[in-house]
A and B are shown apart, each in its own frame.
Chain A
Amino acid sequence: MTTELKCHVGIGEAVEGVALVAEDNFSARYDLDRIKGVFSRPQHKLAGQSYVDKILVMNTAKGGVATAWMLHEMTSRSMAPKAILFNSANTILAQGAALANLTLCDRFEAGDVTQLIKTGDIVRVDPVAGLVTITNR
């Protein structure tokens, strides 16, 4: 059994991976220890957890413009998430994903993506089709 979630057309290539989900927002500058590959902001709901190779599922982007470069830098060291899904991305995340060739989608028709997907779900993301598939349920 699978569950299909329609979203807006996104950026990057089709990928599959394990979801890491939080009802929280995202900034590579504000929230991450990019050397260790973990969330480092103590107040973040994913504090201490590794995001490397995960399908990150978050509410929205926050903060500054640095993430546009940081995704590229993280990808170059193979210390990046496999994809990021948002309820609503901002321009910086889209620009950063385009440079890094990182998969990014947002605006899900069925509602709050942080509720639709659970941590540990196996998720396939097709940004060209605007389709995310939960393959384990």
Chain B
Amino acid sequence: MKLNEATQSMRTGGQGKARQWAVEHQMQVGRMFDALDMVPVSQAHMMADPESIGEAGVEFFENFAAMPDNDRQLRIPLITDPRGVDLSYYDPLGQTEEMANLERRFIRACESMGVVMTNTCINYQTVNSPVLGDHVAFGDTGVVIYSNSVCGARSNFEGGPSALAAALTGYTPRYGLHLDEHRKATCRFKVLVQPEGLTDWGVLGAVIGRKAGSYWEVPVIEGIERVPTSDEIKHMGAAMASYGSTPLFHIVGITPECHTLADVGAEALAVTEISQADINTLRSPFGAAGEKVDVVVFAAPQLSLMEMQKVSSLCEGETLHPATSLLVCTPASVYVDASAAGYVKAIEDFGGKVLQGTCFYQQYAREIGEANGWKRLLSNSTKIVNILGGYGYLPALASMENCVASAIAGEIVNDY
């Protein structure tokens, strides 16, 4: 991998140990994917919840934070993915002081390095959306797939360590989705059933992600008859990335790099149809109509202001079943607006709880499930039901309307 003068100086230690680590890390990854050089990036987004990073990860950050100012100063803005502990509400969830302290130490280390604690996985809706052709180093698969596909930005999945490395150097290895040839379509789908509502869009994304099946596949989708909303395509992308590790998709006539099939080199690709049967097959493991529901979760991705408005309108004047919990996860920035608009009050008067800057599956989901006796979990997020099976839950999927209706009834009223 070829380094320029600036990155070569970082590699030899001329700009401190943090940047030296960062370049070495980037070279290891770049070599594996045959990167020839580095590309400058405009911003980075770091996933690093305490459950994932553990004590070892917190110490890793504290070591950086203890270095001289000049050595650890970030070269580009670095923002953060959701936290694992809402420090204003953790004991009632069954999270321990030990978890909270790990979170506090991590936040302190990040803040001393100049990391901007946005704590959001919807930064493309709430912070600073990247633009067409913008090279960035984003983490959280939902952030990457939205930024690549809907904004036309260029990012690989950058896990927390690599996002930090990019923020320290201002560069990332030029491989994968930074290159034109990896942004061309490799598989072609035709949708025969039009999605309606966030969950349908998520399920469609999941079906395509599962069929695509690899980070290196780029689906192009035909047959979508209307432009989705930002929240709809957010759910579609998040689910596709979750089921397929997919970082980029194109929708003909809708996403910015694909006005026609020819734009993404897809004219000669064989067409796979997505039918109602495919949708049903994906949904069937998550159907549980009539069963008691322990917890209803709106998260993954965090809710936008528009989603907060909708959840609150469904909760207004109703009452949560006493044996069921309802949790809503949103970034602190949305929480402020949602509070001012009365949405938070409506949800909490109902009996639910709005958490700030966290996302349910990133906040010690196994431990809080055990602490609260939560087994049967219901959500409108196709992504979260995919994740939580491994955490000991029995996840079920329903529309936002039916999630709230189930929270009122204490049992799943309808799994569509």
Chain A residues at the B interface, C-beta cutoff of 8 Å: 8-11, 25, 29-33, 40-44, 60-70, 72-73, 75-77, 88-92, 94-96, 98-99, 104
Report how far A31 CA is from B28 CA in the complex, Å.
26
Binding site for A on B (CB under 8 A): 25, 28-29, 31-33, 47-49, 52-57, 60, 139-141, 156-162, 176, 213-216, 241-245, 361-362, 366, 386-387, 389-392
**B245 contacts A61, CB within 8 Å?**
yes
A89 to B156, CA, bound (A): 13
New A-B pairs, 13, CB < 8 Å, besides A65-B160, A91-B176: A25-B245, A29-B52, A29-B387, A32-B390, A60-B213, A60-B245, A68-B161, A69-B57, A69-B161, A90-B215, A91-B156, A91-B158, A98-B25
Complex: A61 Cα to B243 Cα, angstroms: 10
**Interface of A, helix, strand, loop or mixed by DSSP:** mixed
Whole-angstrom distance between the Cβ of A50 and the nearest chain B Cβ:
16
What are 30 residue pairs bridging A and B, where the CB atoms are less than 8 Å apart in the complex?
A11-B29, A29-B361, A29-B387, A30-B389, A31-B390, A41-B390, A44-B390, A63-B141, A64-B387, A65-B141, A65-B157, A66-B47, A68-B159, A69-B57, A69-B159, A72-B56, A72-B60, A72-B161, A73-B54, A88-B214, A90-B157, A90-B214, A91-B29, A92-B157, A94-B32, A95-B29, A95-B162, A96-B161, A98-B28, A98-B29
Q: B25 and A99: CB pair below 8 A?
A: yes
A25 to B139 Cα, complex, angstroms: 20
Which residues of chain B have C-beta atoms less than 8 A from A30's C-beta? 386-387, 389-390
Q: How far is the CA of A68 from the CA of B242 in the complex (A)?
A: 15
A40 to B366, CA, bound (A): 11
Chain A residues with Cβ below 8 Å from B391 are: 40
State in angstroms the CA–CA spacing of A75 and B244 once bound together: 26
Q: Contacts A30-B390, A40-B392, A63-B245 hold; do A72 and B57 have CB atoms under 8 A apart? A: yes
Complex Cα spacing A121 to B264, Å? 43
A11 x B141 contact (CB < 8 A): no
**Least distance between B111 CB and chain A CB atoms (Å):** 19
Instruction: Verify A96–B159 contact, CB threshold 8 A.
Output: yes
Establish whether residues A70 and B52, one from each chain, have CB atoms under 8 Å apart when the complex forms: yes
Q: Is the CB of B390 within 8 A of A76?
A: no
Enumerate chain A residues within 8 angstroms of B366, measured Cβ to Cβ.
Answer: 33
Identify the interface centre among A44, A72, A99, A104: most chain B CB within 10 Å of its CB.
A99
User: A69: which B residues are within 8 A, CB to CB?
Assistant: 47-48, 52-54, 57, 159-161
The residue on A at minimum CB distance from B175 is: A91
Residue numbers in B under 8 Å from A91 (CB-CB): 29, 33, 156-159, 162, 176, 215
